[in-house]
Amino acid sequence: MGETLSIGLLLPQRGPIGMWRLSCENCVNLAIAELNAAGGVLGRELSYQLIDASGPAYQVADNVSREIEHSRIDALVGMHTSDIRVAIAKHIKPDVPYIYTPLYEGGETDKSIFMVGQTPEHQTKPMISWLASQLGAKRWFLIGNDYNYPYVSNQCAKEFIKKDNGHVVGERYVSADADDFSDILSEIASKEPDAVFVNLIGCSKVRFNRQFGQSELPRRIIRFCAVLEENTVLGIGAENTDGIFTSTSYMRNTADNNANVLERLYTQYFGPTAPMLNQFAASCYEGIHLLSTLAQQANSISIKALAGLNQDTVALHGPRGELELRDNHLIAKTHAVHLRGIDMEYIKSF
């Protein structure tokens, strides 16, 4: 192969979502190994440079800008919080393609950015409707972390709730390192919602759900956790998951053969004791393959060439099945999930 195609890989090394870094990096290594074994991308061997995405958004954006200015990276792939994506898009206007992999709040229109994860329209809306129709969830309390993803996605949730003839009885936001939710739990009890929309991430989600589960609230109030995967479920603990629902486009150990193929490959490459596979790691795997698919179809890695692609012809087969690209967003099915202990039980697909 010819020269190397270098990816700037943005992953958190610490902080509230740092627990996903190792599984995400494993999946990037797996995808790169597959592509390099097949001849690379446009005849170039893939490699990556790890960039810490756990600092302040402006600081991470500055680090990315420095790497681009010195021509050390040809593309960006990032699994991190939305405030960092916004900072990069707003202050750098990267002249390299940028694959953003996790679910996010929606609304991104920058033609240099391609989105792997779902938006509230596909992930949250069908689940709120299902909970309303099947479990009578009409009165909602919203809680989220204090940054752009929870704010914007909660605004979307309010619209979905209203369309299903429900209403919001309370709304609170906390820092990512919040650890005492006693006041909020008291407020929830006083407002008597049918359901709580939990838009917290990482450690704050674990702490909130532990404290909620140890209270009397699960007897009468269900929880819809928007961002939930297997590691977080283990942190919450089987004794605290009664009444938790989520929706996701990727689940481990399902009847879906696409997910099972990734599970087998992951275990084959990294062993049975590797960090647990999850939706964020799987999104990184798909992100690398999306970058390759785009480059191969455009016969170029330039933003101009990628922006000129007829996206109707761009399709990707990944752990979530057959995916289509529409307006720079990969479209996937959504699965409704109910927690039973630490098991994520499939309900139905939307």
Which is the CATH superfamily of the domain at 2-118+255-331? Response regulator (3.40.50.2300)
Cα–Cα nearest to 188, from 155, 142, 246, 236: 142
Q: What does residue 199 show for φ and ψ, rounded to 5 degrees?
A: -110, 50
Rounded to whole angstroms, the Cα distance separating 263 from 34 reads 15
Query: Considering the entire predicted model, what is its pTM?
Result: 0.94
Strand, coil or helix: 15: coil
Q: Which are the contacts of 313, defined by CB distance < 8 A and separation ≥ 6?
A: 297
List of the chain residues with pLDDT < 50: 1
Residues 6 or more apart whose Cβ sits within 8 Å of residue 202: 15, 16, 17, 18, 19, 176, 232
The rounded distance, in Å, linking the Cα atoms of 28 and 44 is 17
Cα distance between residue 319 and residue 335, in whole Å: 13
Determine the pLDDT at residue 1. 46
Q: Say whether 29 sits in a helix, a strand or coil.
A: helix
Q: Under CATH, which number does the domain 121-248 receive?
A: 3.40.50.2300
- Give tens-digit pLDDT for 230-258: 889 999 999 999 999 999 999 876 656 67
Beta 195-199 vs 139-145: how paired, if at all? parallel
Q: What is the pLDDT at residue 255?
A: 57
Residue 104's pLDDT is what? Answer: 95
Res 269: pLDDT: 95
Q: What are the distances in angstroms from CA 229 to CA 37, 190, 236? A: 30, 29, 11
Ramachandran assignment for 103, one of left (phi > 0), alpha (psi -120 to 50 degrees), beta (any other): beta
Q: Return residue ranges of the chain for CATH 3.40.50.2300.
A: 2-118+255-331, 121-248
Q: What is the pLDDT of residue 173?
A: 98
Which ranges constitute the DSSP H helices of the chain?
A: 21-37, 57-69, 82-91, 120-123, 125-135, 148-163, 182-191, 202-213, 230-236, 257-270, 279-298, 303-307
Cα angle: 162, vertex 163, 168; to 5 degrees:
15
